[in-house]
Amino acid sequence: MKKNKKKGKIYVVIAIDTEGPIVNKKKPEIINKWSDIKKLIKILTNQDFRNYVVDSSKKGIKYSWFLLTLTGFKTNPFKRPMKYNQTFNFYKKNFFKNFNLNEDGVYWHYHQPSPSGIGNEWCKNWSDSQEYINILNRLLIDQQFFPSCFRAGGRIEDNDLSNWLEEYIPFDYSNCSGDINWNRIESDGKRLIDVADWSKASRSWKPYHPSKKNYQYKGSQKRHVFRCLDVNSPVYSITKGDIRQAFRQASNGEDVVLSIFEHDRRFNVINNLKFFLETLNEISKKFPKIKWYFKNARDAAISSQKINSTSAPKFKISKLKDKRLMIETKDKIFGSRPYACIKTSNKKYIEIPLIKVGFNKWITSQLIFKNFNFYIAANNNSGNNRPTKALIKL
C-alpha cells in the first residue's frame, strides 16, 4: 500500500499598507484624520478581532504592516501625510508595543513620485526618482530601521526596481497576478497594465526567484517574489477559488504563502477582513489534513522556504589613511553590499556607496566630512538585520 503523500502547510499573511489619512470630498468613506486611523487600528489589533478566526495552532492574526513614507512630491491635493517618518512615527508611538506582543512584522511600502510632482500620481519608472534613498536614509538613521520585506506602491514594479531590491531586500510581496482586468482604465485615464503589470507573473502561491531581464519571469536571482492579492478593491477581490488553490497546492505537498493586502484608509477593511477570514475558515474545514498558520511576512517566507533564521550580520568599521572607511563582516549577507549612509553636522542625510574590494569587504570613496555618524545595515538570507551606528572622526 502506498503511503499518503506528505501534506504541505499554508502560511497566511495579512498585509496592511499603512498610508495615513486622505482628504477626498468625492470619497467620504476614506478616513481623513489621524484620530480615525487610530480607532480603526485599535479595532484591528484588539484580541477579539485578532482571534475572530484562529489557525491550526489556535492562534490569532499576525499582521504585516508595510509603512509608507510619501515624500518627493511638489503638490499635495489630498492633504496626505508628506513628511519624513510621519506615518512611521504615528504607528511607532501608538501601536509598536501591540505589534511586538503579537509577533506582527513592520516592513516597507513605497510609492515612486511621478516626474509631474503631483501628490497623488504614481510613476512606473524606477529611474525617474531616487526619493527612496532619502527615505531609507531617514529610516535607518532616525528610526534604526531597515526593511526585510517590501511592497511596491500601486503594485508598480519594473526591472530597475526589481534589480535594486536584489541588492538589499530578500522578500518582495508585490506580485498581484490573477484574473484581473488589466485593461481597466484607472483614475488618471491610463490602462492598469500600462502602470502596473503582473499579467505574466506566476499565479502560484509558492514564491519565485525573478529573472534579471524580466521581474515577472522565473530566473536566477536570490530574492523571493510572493503573490499578494487585494482582499476587495476596484482592481480585484480575492475569491474562494484563490483560497482553495492554496489548499490544493498544500494537498499536493507544497508549503505555500497565502497573502492578501488591505489599507488603513477605510473602515470597511474590518468587514473585508472578516469576509476573508470566514471564507478561509470555511474552506479549511474541507481540507482537514492541511495545517495553516498566521505568520508575518518574514516568518512566512522563511518557514515556507525552509530558510534557517540566522543572526543578523555584524560589521567592523575601520578608518583608512586616505579618509576612506573599510567595512568588513564575517557573516553572510543577502545582497552584494550593505546599505550605508551618514548624517552630517549640518543635518544632511547622504547615502554612502560602497565598493567591494574582497570577500565581505567594502570601502567608501574619500569622505570630505570631519565628524559624522556612520550608519550601516544589511539583511541576511533570512531577513535579519541589525542597524549599526559608529561615530567617525577623520
Using CA atoms of 57, 170, 328, 308 in order, give the dihedral in degrees to the nearest 10: 30
Q: Is the separation of the CB atoms in 392 and 366 below 8 Å?
A: no
Res. 4: pLDDT tops 70: no
Q: What angle do CA 97, 101, 104 make, to 5 degrees?
A: 90
Please give the pLDDT value at position 3: 56
- Mean pLDDT, rounded, for 259-288: 98
Instruction: Give the model confidence (pLDDT) of 96-106 as tens digits.
Output: 999 999 999 99
Q: Considering Cα of 112, then 118, then 122, then 128, what sign does the dihedral take? A: negative
Residue 365: Cβ within 10 Å count? 13
Rounded distance between C-alpha atoms, residue 21 and residue 40, angstroms: 11
Instruction: Give the model confidence (pLDDT) of 98-128 as tens digits.
Output: 999 999 999 999 999 999 999 988 899 999 9
Res. 1: pLDDT tops 70: no
Res. 369: pLDDT tops 90: no
Please give the pLDDT value at position 394: 82
- Please choose, from the candidates 351, 336, 347, the residue with its C-alpha nearest in 3D space to the C-alpha of residue 132: 351
Res. 9: pLDDT tops 80: yes
Rounded distance between C-alpha atoms, residue 28 and residue 24, angstroms: 7
Res. 2: pLDDT tops 60: no
CATH number, span 9-304: 3.20.20
**Which residues of the chain are in CATH 3.20.20 domains?**
9-304
Using CA atoms of 156, 160, 161, 166 in order, give the dihedral in degrees to the nearest 10: 140
CATH class of 316-393: mainly beta
Rounded distance between C-alpha atoms, residue 388 and residue 381, angstroms: 18
Q: What is the DSSP string of 165-189?
A: HHHH-SEEEEE--SS--TT-B-TTS
Round the average pLDDT of the chain to a whole number and report it: 95
**Which residues of the chain are in CATH 2.60.40.10 domains?**
316-393
- Mean pLDDT, rounded, for 162-170: 98
Q: Is the separation of the CB atoms in 298 and 304 below 8 Å?
A: no
Rounded distance between C-alpha atoms, residue 95 and residue 172, angstroms: 24
Confidence band (pLDDT; 50, 70, 90) for 189?
confident
Alpha helices in the chain (DSSP H): 34-45, 47-50, 86-101, 131-143, 159-168, 192-195, 240-251, 269-284, 297-304
Instruction: Give the model confidence (pLDDT) of 25-59 as tens digits.
Output: 999 999 999 999 999 999 999 999 999 999 999 99
Using CA atoms of 269, 87, 175, 73 in order, give the dihedral in degrees to the nearest 10: 120
Instruction: Give the model confidence (pLDDT) of 244-267 as tens digits.
Output: 999 999 999 999 999 999 999 999
- pTM for this entry: 0.97
Q: Is the separation of the CB atoms in 381 and 332 below 8 Å?
A: yes
